[in-house]
Amino acid sequence: GDWSSDVCSSDLERDLCCKLCMHNGVYSPGKEVHHIIPREVCDEDQVFDVNNCIYLCCVCHHKVHETGWKKYVKLFKELIGNE
């Protein structure tokens, strides 16, 4: 399968909610895989690393990219337990 289905079917499968919504006390399904360190910036092996991926809903994913991914890195790593 393609890499996104491989990532989805691994560790991330245990919790498919949007982590940013959950952090704010709201449940919404995580529809999109966000790269904590963007593909353009990270090492090639990080692209497929579940520790560099977090589930977000479409709205949060868009917001993260609109407002700048760097400000979310520390929070996202804490949310997935990978400080």
Q: Where are the alpha helices (DSSP H) in the chain?
A: 3-8, 19-23, 44-47, 58-67, 73-79
Task: Determine what percent of the chain is predicted with pLDDT higher than 70.
Answer: 80
The contacts of residue 75 (CB under 8 Å, 6+ apart) are: 23
Instruction: Write out the two tokens for 63.
Output: 């917001």
Prediction pTM value? 0.75
Q: Which residue has the higher pLDDT, 3 or 76?
A: 76
